[in-house]
Amino acid sequence: MKPIETRLARLARKGDQRAFAEIVELYKDKLYHLAYRMMNNRQEAEDVVQESFLRVFKNLDRYDENQKFSTWIYRIATNLCIDRLRKRRPVYSLDAETDHEGLDGYSMLPSDDRTPESELLLSETQKLIRDAVETLPVKYKSIMILRYLQDLSLQEISEVLDLPVTTVKTRVHRGREYMRKKLESKL
């Protein structure tokens, strides 16, 4: 039996609008979180999600049902993010925190005994991590986000980015080293 997404894709391909709406419902939040973490901008993340679903809709006939649907849709969204990041000029903002609106994808383990001091320390640590991720070169950034924030396996990342697993492993290792050095210089 085929996974639900594959059945929905087949129905949507035949013109079933409710099936496509269900695909959107299943993936809109996942794609938004992926795009937000890569773009670090709410508006751009929303644009990426919208453009991803447009591409999915236009290319449903090209979806290979032997492939996981999630891999296919993540590939579309990730590639759109990478394209936008490559075109983007570095943005330096004195008010960088305002764009986050309380959202942070790098939350630490919650503690029951929170104090204002521990909250401040946690907030500063999260900002350091977020800043370090933001400075990663695109080829490492996309892999680190897919691996540690989207929790994809090395094999799934390989399929999403169309790279050999060995390349993914190398980039995960180098990305971690880059982050470690960046964070050590800040602490």
Name the least confident of 28-37, 105-114, 157-166.
105-114
17-39 and 69-87 are packed helices; what angle lies between their axes, rounded to 10 degrees? 40
Residue 114 pLDDT > 50: yes
Q: How confident is the model at residue 54 (pLDDT cuts 50, 70, 90)?
A: very high
pLDDT recorded at residue 22: 94
Global confidence as pTM: 0.64
pLDDT recorded at residue 92: 40
CA distances from 156 to 8, 69, 70, 81 (A): 21, 11, 9, 17
What span, in angstroms and rounded, lies between the C-alpha atoms of 107 and 105? 6
What span, in angstroms and rounded, lies between the C-alpha atoms of 154 and 45? 24
- Of the options 3.40.50.300, 2.40.30.10, 1.10.10.10, 3.40.50.720, the CATH number for the domain spanning 115-187: 1.10.10.10
Domain segments of the chain: what residues? 1-89, 115-187
Percent of the chain surpassing pLDDT 90: 41
Mean pLDDT score, 158-178: 91
What span, in angstroms and rounded, lies between the C-alpha atoms of 11 and 57? 12
List the structure tokens of 149.
């924030």
- Of the options 3.40.50.460, 3.40.50.300, 2.60.40.10, 1.10.1740.10, the CATH number for the domain spanning 1-89: 1.10.1740.10
> Is 133 buried (19+), middle (13-18) or exposed (0-12) by CB count in 10 A?
buried
Chain segment 4-14, per-residue pLDDT in tens: 888 999 999 99
